[in-house]
Every structure is written in structure tokens, then in C-alpha cells.
Amino acid sequence: MVVHPQDGWWLEGGGQMKIDGRRLVAMLMVVISTAGANPEELSAQAQRPVIGAGAGIAGGVVITLSAIVARARFQREYIDSVEDLIHWQSLPMIAAPAAGVTFGLAGRDALVGSIVGSVSGMAIGTAAGAGIGWLVSRNQESPWAGAVIGAGVGLSVGGLALGLIRWSEDDNPDLSFPSVLRFELSVPLP
């Protein structure tokens, strides 16, 4: 089967099979009904990765902006053209949605934990970054730059930390928690 972007799906023998929205929904309903699973449960399982990807895209924008500001502030490297975006700072635009989809596939607890951790981490990071920027330098752009950098760092740390914690504590995750990420910390007390 060969895909032609303007005309739908083409069969190899020269025949054409157009798929519109109604046919696609009908085919999905057949697949769902033959799978023997609860349609509401399948719908929720399909929505979480989409929500995670959307939140990841928004988070990726914030983290990328944070990386651009950090690069401009500390390395004095600025964006002069679109080609300058093809660098390490554009990696969050891929990694953050991938993390969001992963937390969405893991289950509700992991996704909610990641979103709550991202938002609260971004708020705390923004305030801390603005305060540090104001204390460290008297340049008028320092609090703003510190706030943007802090927002990206806080969003990254908060989202990953709380998402992983909630995923590891979930009694019935949709996706098993990777054993590579499990670790214990014990402190002997005298």
C-alpha cells in the first residue's frame, strides 16, 4: 500500500481506497468491539498520551526558550536565523512530548504527577530564577533572564521527578515502571 498525501490511500494494484473520517471511526469501532475491552477504558487510555504530548509540547517550548536565553546570557551566542535553532537547545521539543506520551501511557497517576510537578516546578523556578538574577547582577535583564532559565529548569526537574515518583508508587500502572529507574536510598542512623 502506498500513501499519496492528496488523494488518500492507494492500493498497489492501481486501485484507490479513500478513507474519510466516518470510515476511519467505523473501522476503529470494529477494532474496539472485537478487542473485547471496555470502550470507555480504551478512550481514557488513548486520551492520556495525547494530553501528555500536548503538555510536553508546551513544556518543550518553555524549556527550549530557557535554553536559548541561557545560551545567550552565558555564552553570548544569539539566534540570528532559523538554522541557529538546529542545535542542542531544540532537543526539548522532541524529548518533552516523548516524556509526556510515556507518562500518559504509564497511567493517570504518572501523567497527573508530571503535569502538577511541571507547573509547580515552573512557578518555583521562575521565582527563584528571578530572585537569583536580581541578586547576582544589577543589569536590568538579569531578573527576566533568570526567571526564564529558572522556569525551564524547574519545569524539567519538577515534571520528571513527580511524574517518576507517582509512576513508581502506582499500584496498577498501565505501563510497568522500568526497573533501571528503581533505586533505594538508606541512611543508617546511629
Write out pLDDT tens, residues 13-56. 555 555 566 666 666 666 555 555 565 665 666 788 888 888 88
Report whether 113 contacts 163 (CB < 8 A).
Answer: yes
Q: What are the helix and strand counts (H, E) for the chain?
A: 5, 3
The model's pTM? 0.67
DSSP label at residue 84: G
Cell of 156: 524539567
Please give the pLDDT value at position 1.
43
Report whether 148 contacts 132 (CB < 8 A).
Answer: no
Max CA pair span of the chain: 79
Can you tell me the mean pLDDT for 50-73?
Answer: 86
More confident: 173 or 98: 98
Q: In DSSP terms, which residues pair with 36 in a beta bridge?
A: none
C-alpha distances (whole Å) from 154 to each of 52, 113, 146, 167, 187 are: 18, 14, 12, 19, 27
Please state, in angstroms and rounded to a whole number, the distance separating the CA atoms of residues 123 and 117. 10
Q: Is the pLDDT of residue 167 over 90?
A: no
Q: Is the pLDDT of residue 106 over 60?
A: yes
DSSP label at residue 88: G
Which H or E run contains 2? strand 2-4
Q: Which of 16-20, 89-93, 111-115 has the lowest mean pLDDT?
A: 16-20
